[in-house]
Chains A and B, each alone.
Chain A
Amino acid sequence: MHAFVNLRSSLIRTARGRSPWLFHLNSGGCNGCDIELVACLTPRYDVEQFGIRLEGSPRHADVLCVSGPVTRNTKSALLTIYTQMPDPKVVVAIGSCPASGNVFAHSPVIEGPLQEFIPVDVYVPGCPPRPDAIIEGIIQAVAVLKAKQYRGNGRE
């Protein structure tokens, strides 16, 4: 019985590591990081070979990729989308904006940085970061995802 439970949990852990689905949210950035993220899907970088898929709906996603400095208008959308994602989930902050506000820092319409609202697991700095760096960040986030409890209902 114990062996079966171990096998099951290691199977689920492997599955989580092999199929991270992304949801991409621009919280008021300049669109530069978004273009770099989409470049990861192109033939040059092809993240689908790692099982990574860009999903349209936060309900399907495991990894939330946030770009942009979190403006006043996008804050509520950010919180809604974060709560809409089913557990277990991780957050990757793409670019310098969600980390520090970047060139928008101290602007009256900026509410960020991102970690004031949701827990951030991995930061990918850069303005914009290269697609290689984004892929590296997502792979690190997947390691965090795998280390989370294997059953969603809190039992280990």
Chain B
Amino acid sequence: MESGYFLLAFFIFPGLLYAIPMAWLILWIERKASARMQGRIGPPFYQPFFDFVKLMAKRPLPRTRLESWVFTGLPLLALGALLGSLMMLPIDLSQANHMGDLILLAALLEVPAICAVLAGFASRSLFGQVGAVREGVLMIASTLPFLTALAAMAASVGSLDLTTIAQSTPASVSLLAFLALFLCLPVKLRINPFSLANAEQEIYTGPTTEFSGAQLALWELTHGIEWVALMGLVTSLVLPWRTGQWITDALFFTLISLILVLLLTALSAATARLKIYQATRIYWQWGFGISLFALLVATLPIGG
């Protein structure tokens, strides 16, 4: 039973079979919605899929063996960590979730950013290094409110178990934690106004500047799955949407994820890129402030 659920979660929902088409769908919605908001037509819905196939079929560049291991290994590691975190999301509450707790989930969600920093430095390109430094600085600034918001939810229920957190966090804490987590999403997804790490046309694409062909395709896929996992995290932990039925829960999960994608796309289409000190200041002041408030509400008796 336990291993059956494990296989189902890893390969079907919300694992590979769900996550990969969903990643392409989200990447398309992001591009299409921002094109519509700018008065353009935008790409057709199969665009991310054809981008992926085309990149996979490019001829690999001649590299040393170590370089190609590092360049292929880093996106694969990020992809694996994201699939692991997806598997742990508490979507189906009737199943007791014994695959891990909040600490493992938070750790796995940090892996792609660390891989991006390493990739930027490993590429030895100037733009890659600038991107890696920015990614690192922003990761430190945004991880603190991110983790504090998760800690507030854990503190309010007195447990690190994901199912318990999803089920019984009081609404006051949930709302504050949602605000703090939502503020952290643009920087984790590297979209405007916090797109400093991959700032296109400024430092090219930051850490992935030197990547090409299949390795770049893996990064694109990782980026899509990062969207799925982070939307899934917010949707499954914070937002109240349980019906009790497995199928309707899964549908609501997908739907709310897509609504969050549209909200974030609107934010990124409406804003311009910030400077690094402005971006970090927002996280230290607002992000950390809100999540600290959530933690206070969660631990003080007034929070209920």
A interface, size bucket:
20 to 34
Contact check, B57 vs A19: say whether CB atoms are below 8 A apart.
Answer: no
Nearest CB of chain B from residue A27's CB, rounded to whole Å: 19
Question: Nearest chain A CB to B302's CB is how many angstroms away?
Answer: 51
Cα distance, A18 to B52, chains bound together (Å): 11
Would you call A46 and B59 a contact (CB within 8 A)?
Answer: no
Q: Which residues of B contact A151 (CB under 8 A)?
A: 57
Measured CA separation A18–B57 after assembly (Å): 13
A11 CA / B58 CA spacing, docked (Å): 13
Residue A108 interfacial (CB < 8 Å): no
Interface-facing stretch out of B4-12, B99-107, B202-210, B276-284: B202-210
B60 neighbours in A (Cβ, 8 Å): 86, 152
Partner of A51, one of B40, B47, B210: B47
Chain A contacts of B210 at CB under 8 A?
57, 59
- Contact status A48-B31, CB under 8 Å: yes
Say whether B58 contacts A86, CB under 8 Å. yes
**Counting CB contacts under 8 A, is A14 at the interface?**
yes
A111 → B minimal CB distance (Å): 26
Chain B, interface size category, equals: 20 to 34
Select B205's contact among A57, A87, A153, beta carbons within 8 Å. A57
- With CB as the reference atom, state the residue of chain B lying closest to A58: B212
Question: Min CB distance, A63 to chain B, in Å?
Answer: 12
Contact yes or no, A15 B38, CB < 8 A: no
Per-residue interface assignment for chain B, residues 272 to 290, with 1 indicating a CB less than 8 Å from any chain A CB and 0 otherwise: 0000000000000000000
- A15-B53 contact, Cβ under 8 Å, with A43-B38, A46-B40: yes
Give the residues in chain A near B57, CB-CB below 8 Å: 12, 15-16, 150-152
Interface residues as binary, A58-88 with B (CB distance below 8 Å gives 1, 0 otherwise): 0110100000000000000000000000111
- Does residue A49 face the partner (Cβ distance < 8 Å to B)? yes
Is B211 a contact of A56 with CB atoms below 8 Å? no
18 contacts between A and B (CB under 8 A): A12-B53, A14-B50, A16-B57, A18-B46, A18-B54, A19-B51, A19-B54, A48-B40, A48-B41, A49-B43, A49-B44, A51-B44, A56-B200, A57-B210, A86-B61, A86-B212, A87-B59, A153-B59
Given A12-B54, A15-B49, A46-B40, list of 5 further CB < 8 A pairs? A46-B35, A57-B208, A59-B61, A151-B57, A152-B57
